[in-house]
Structure 1
């Protein structure tokens, strides 16, 4: 979860709140972020059984509007943006010309000709430059609003129950991927019924200057602060890809289980994405030995791939991993993962590892 920063780390509007809560801070995507507070396992379990609170203000936000906003987004993404109605959100990909991914993103339709894109923190500059290169011929305006927003994720089976007394809309009427304005503790916010944990929940877009006050109020009503460590174990259990691990500029995105994101339309890199991927993403479970990114995956002692993400699963009680393996052996029932020169048995399982009831 750590990296060596080459430039001074950025801080989210919640930096002071994290220090007050005793968070252990680490460099992540160019930001100084909390990896844990009470501990990864406790925070993970709080999200699975009650509700947790994440600071995701490091994510980037781009506003896209104008008469050609939809046409522009149809060209630069793989999913069908034309299906989005105002007040709805959609998971999507930004492909490059060679068929890899510049990023995986969320698209929120804010109005008839207006959208909000949420992009990964480490890719903000790259995504912005990529989008700018494709605006020619489109009547569209792009604005980088990343510094204006605070973004909080309220995730867990009790998310709706804990939020409802303090908000002015009926959350029970809001379905998955709803995107809507509201008053939370009297503050004007935007909410989306989206998240990255495998649980129900809401992502709360706030004015950056109000984010810390809203965070403190959410903690006071019973939400458990959770850091990057729990966010990673939760998303891994849910089989969610992480950019830089399961997706990159070079990897064929259809090697993942997210083939539904690539719709049959004219988009950047289409001819390459339509080609059969040479690898497939599989789920692996092990009995005892946790495995990490980069570990070799073997079949009958022969290297056939590598682990992209791995961890002990707090919910399931044993190690799990996602791995890219050669497509011609992806249906094999068993593999081995090499750890410190020793091959450990691993069973292939369908993704996700965990799905809420």
Structure 2
């Protein structure tokens, strides 16, 4: 972690950067951006999201709008999920795949609907560090004569309002009944009489919304929510929250060498209900023969925290590697994700993690590590 003055000027800053400075946030480099890692403290912010509400500046994430005829069927060839089943106002968390079925990125596709001229409209949110790569890949595989693609990443502020009280803080600002929106539902509305896109999605394992608005409204909304009592939160607690919910972090838990079946994302692969897509043959083979490695959940004891890159051992031999690990603020014990051979991926399997040159016991446990009672259904 570093203070803002110690970070190079080459890093990009979100439109809410100055608000973070005013709130005395600590900043860090993330995906080419200068991002707040914490404001009032990681544990304090984590508990606010689990018990009340917190807000995150996630304006660094990539944001695309697409429209055109047969848009959904074209996008359907890029992902293993069946997009044809989406209705207007619904979204699909999924993954872009390369020809080896490796994960180029994990993304959310929001289907806004089809107009009277058969033009379909979609919003896609992607990870910050992969925005250019994703844009290039998508454009390579869409028909430029029928699809209009717009990169609005720098034009819009994105604020995630997360926690059991998140809906109540936002409800007073919109006329739509937010409680009627299911998980991964979304709508276009207004906040302070200005256009806003709201989606019941997030990266914390809690209920909440992600709100996309223009710069002026984003600044106004951030200040309003802060004054109303929504706690500003940084990447530090965003990481502990998503890890408790066993949500993958791109570049650590998943990347372009790992398939969704290896990563425990088999629920995104709809081989039986859709046609051909990039990487399908590899996934069919893995489905038939089984994968050689799997992403697992690990629990260690005391303060023995298994961090990213630490070796996983079985019978004294290195068999895998930790991808993410932390001391869970909610559960009060260390948790981690790791890849190991499939034969060692069973729940209750006893393994070890090498921490600073010494092996410590670790047990394979079910994921997610924590499941909130506040989450709404799809």
| Range of TM-score over shorter length | over 0.9
Structure 1: runs of 5 or more not aligned: none
Partner of 2:27: 25
> CA separation in 1, counterparts of 2:235 and 2:45?
10
Report deviation, 1:137.
8.1
Partner of 1:97: 99
Report deviation, 1:251.
1.4
Contact 1:13 1:209 in 2 (8 A): no
Partner of 1:292: 307
Report deviation, 1:5.
8.4
2:226 to 173, 194, 219: 219
User: Per the alignment, do residues 6 and 92 of structure 1 end up closer, same or farther by CA in structure 2, a change over 3 Å counting?
Assistant: farther
Report deviation, 1:138.
7.0
Contact 1:68 1:138 in 2 (8 A): no
2:360 to 310, 324, 344: 344
Secondary structure of 2:172's counterpart equals helix
Q: Does structure 1 residue 182 correspond to structure 2 residue 196?
A: no
2:329 to 292, 314, 317: 314
> CA separation in 1, counterparts of 2:187 and 2:21?
31
Secondary structure of 2:154's counterpart equals helix
Of 23-32 and 173-182, deviating more is 173-182
Secondary structure of 1:243's counterpart equals coil
Taking the TM superposition and a 5 Å limit, the aligned residue runs for 1:157-176 are 157-176=164-183
Partner of 2:70: 68
Taking the TM superposition and a 5 Å limit, the aligned residue runs for 1:28-177 are 28-112=30-114, 113-136=120-143, 139-177=146-184
Partner of 1:238: 245
Contact 2:64 2:150 in 1 (8 A): yes
> CA separation in 2, counterparts of 1:71 and 1:242?
28
Secondary structure of 2:28's counterpart equals strand
Q: Does structure 1 residue 302 correspond to structure 2 residue 309?
A: no
2:295 to 281, 288, 292: 281
Q: Which string of whole-angstrom CA distances, capped at 9 and with x for unpartnered residues, describes residues 250-275 of structure 1?
A: 11221122201011131111111232
Report deviation, 1:181.
1.6
Partner of 2:376: none
Contact 1:30 1:122 in 2 (8 A): yes
Q: Which string of whole-angstrom CA distances, capped at 9 and with x for unpartnered residues, describes residues 219-260 of structure 1?
A: 111100000000000000001001111110111221122201
Q: Does structure 1 residue 269 correspond to structure 2 residue 279?
A: yes
Contact 1:100 1:273 in 2 (8 A): no
Q: How many positions carry a matched residue from both structures?
A: 356
> CA separation in 1, counterparts of 2:140 and 2:7?
28
> CA separation in 1, counterparts of 2:306 and 2:242?
16
Secondary structure of 1:255's counterpart equals coil
Partner of 2:205: 198
> CA separation in 2, counterparts of 1:316 and 1:206?
35
Contact 1:5 1:30 in 2 (8 A): no
